[in-house]
Structure 1
Amino acid sequence: MEYKDYYKILGVERSAEEADIKKAYRKLAAKHHPDKPTGDETKFKEINEAYEVLGDKEKRQMYDQLGPNYHNGQNFQPPPGYEEMFGGFGGFGGAQGGAGASGFSDFFDSLFGGGFQQQGGFGGGHQTYQQKGEDQSVKVLVSLEEAVHGVEKSLTIQMPMPTRQGGFSHQPKSLKVRIPAGVKQGSRIRLTGQGMPGYGGGPNGDLFLEVDLQNHPLFKVDGDDVLLNLPLTPWEAALGTKVEVPTLKGKVSMNIPAGTQSGAKLRIKGRGLGKADKAGNQYVLIQIHTPPAESDEAKAFYEKMAETLPFNPRHHF
């Protein structure tokens, strides 16, 4: 059985990262597609077979486990126990010469038992190879209010499109998308068919929007929870009070217990991020602000306090 060096076919090192493999595949596939003047049907099929394996984490791992025998070329033999280990993927005895019924080589079919979709076209028995377009991922900036309530956004993204010269150029693409209520940092929204065009009439890839939450002047995000610093005067903290506290879902009235200390953490349940039934909480962090002693009267007042309320917060030092 002829061994196929998929790394050599794509022109990448065996240690290549996933992004480098994808980049090499795109360039070669665009150059050798049969529908193009520079196309080479045999080469195109070979390129797609290589990417079918190296572009898939599990298949690549299995392929790499062929071990040191990969350099044996035409005399390739799988390592002992390989067929028993991966027999569910077709074994090594099912294909004899030529391309398998799937359109891939007998080497691929015997390893994976897979198939590459073919459809007739152009008459005279010519085969048009169809492949789904590449998925794309872009980040979309979303405010905290939009994340909580949902919003419709108009976006213009730069989409890589294949050129007739075999390369890629970035072209603007305008979209109207609905950001659902309850999204969080890193949430992914799938837009089916909005990715790169397929080859040979194959379906378009998908576009994934990755939510990137915008910084807010009042709130900070901690997972599903929202944090708010709440300034209080010394007398409000000492005597207790009721204050209006802003949240992403409107203001709420909060009781501040008498004797509240700076750094205390109070909870408002269900006012964080996420879907309504599983939303996080808002935590209010108390910060006691002391008025400045900028006048003689203010200084006298503080001196009177020191005399009337002797208090040493460092007594435990």
Structure 2
Amino acid sequence: MAATTRDFYESLGVSRGAGQEEIQSAYRKLARTYHPDVNKDPGAEDRFKEISEAYSVLSDPATRRRYDAFGADFRQVPEDVDPETWARARAGRGGRPGARTGAGPSGPAGFGEGVDFEDLLEGLFSGRAGRAGRSWGPIPGADQEAEIELPLEEAYRGGRHSITVGGRRIEVNIPAGVTDGQRIRLAGQGGRGGDGAPAGDLYLIVRIAPHPRYRVEGRDIHLRLPVTPWEAALGASVAVDTPAGETKVKVPPGTSSGRRLRLRGRGMPNRRGTPGDLFAEVRIMVPPTLSDEERRLFERLAAVSTFDPGRRR
């Protein structure tokens, strides 16, 4: 998992009051710029991990609320802690309640120098009386997040996948048809609990790697379908490769370049609902060189045809 060293809103270049559409738009723009597959700059991969972590937090309303309340400490703070109590405890031990960035020498980002994170937790939760006289007992482990990048074909068919988190090797069962940004919950695989309390959960955020042939939007898959001029003019059944294997696309007579042909239900699977569709965008290709016979036939077609798409006659 990427370390939290920067304000997530700053990482995406949005204000703290930004809506979900603005956050998603900012992430997509930055991801296209810094994805390691398209940006070979030495710092691109770290920047991509940073913006991906920021998006994974801010795109989830519940996680975003915790981040807004606790800042960089949101993963360490147990679920039932009151933000005001947390802020007072930090302030009382030399912390800076308003800080969310920068890592001090003795604890996670958001703490002032000399503030020990474990000591602060102990002061809040190790059996001392809490708010309204409440006593804190064993502390459940914190939930954690990590990203998992999958090739489109693996996301399509699902299956077993290994991932390393915090030095641990975990086997994950990826459901068929996972989409970009989808969260997979692994119960009990998060942070360890204290005093015998249960461990937290691990949430895997799926990222689908860019593909040279396919483009994915939600559950829909888009691809380009190259056809010959005569297939476009006369109609044809054209073979096309899809993540599920080869299939046939019917090209209607008189098809022009740019026309999208829809194959219902041939997009990403959906075990809980309707699968996506596959869209094949027609691209009419011409031979780079012509044989004498081909040239003769094309010249004959040019002589007899009255078709004029630009209406130049």
TM value normalised by structure 1: 0.60
Structure 2: tracts of 5 or more residues without a match? 1-84
Q: 1:272 aligns with which of 260, 267, 273?
A: 267
Q: Aligned pair count?
A: 221
Contact 2:100 2:109 in 1 (8 A): no
Q: Distance in 2 between matches of 1:280 and 1:13?
A: 48
1:238: which partner in 2? 233
Q: Does 1:136 align with 2:136?
A: no
The alignment status of 1:288 with 2:287, answered yes or no, reads: no
Aligned equivalents of 1:259, 1:307: Cα separation in 2: 19
Q: Give 1:29 deviation, angstroms.
A: 3.8
Q: Deviations over 1:275-316 (max 9, x none)?
A: 144211111111101112456655544433322224332228
- Picking from 305, 309, 312, the partner of 1:313 is 309
Report what 1:247 is aligned to: 242
1:28 and 2:116 matched: yes
Kindly state the Cα deviation for residue 207 of structure 1 after the two structures are TM-superposed: 1.2
- Please list every run of 5 or more consecutive structure 1 residues that lacks an aligned counterpart in the other structure: 33-42, 50-101, 119-129, 160-171
Instruction: Provide the alpha-carbon RMSD of the alignment.
Output: 3.1
Instruction: Tell me the equivalent position of 1:156.
Output: 164
State the AA in 1 paired with 2:303.
E
**Higher gyration radius (CA):** 1
Q: 1:19 to 1:284 in 2, by over 3 A?
A: farther
Separation in 2 of the partners of 1:199 and 1:29?
15
Tell me, in whole angstroms, the C-alpha distance in 1 between the residues paired with 2:108 and 2:200: 14
Identity %: 34
| Distance (Å, rounded) in 2 between the aligned partners of 1:176 and 1:215 | 23
Q: Please tell me the residue identity of whatever aligns with 2:129.
A: F
Aligned to 1:63: none
Counterparts of 1:11 and 1:279, CA distance in 2:
54
Does the CA contact (< 8 Å) of 1:229 and 1:284 recur in 2? yes
Asked whether 1:179 is paired with 2:256, we answer no
1:117 aligns with one of 122, 136, 156: 136
1:46 maps onto 2:54 in alignment: no
Q: Decide whether aligned partners of structure 1 residues 47 and 213 sit closer, same or farther in structure 2, where only a CA change above 3 A counts.
A: same
Q: Please give the TM-score of this superposition, normalised by the length of structure 2.
A: 0.61
8 Å contact 2:257–2:283 — kept in the other structure? yes
Distance 1:11 1:301, change over 3 A: farther
CA deviation map 1:247-269 (0-9, x unaligned): 22232222211001111111111
* 1:104 maps to 2:143: no
* 1:127-183 alpha-carbon deviations (Å, 9 max, x no partner): xxx2122221111112222222211012222x1xxxxxxxxxxxx111111111121
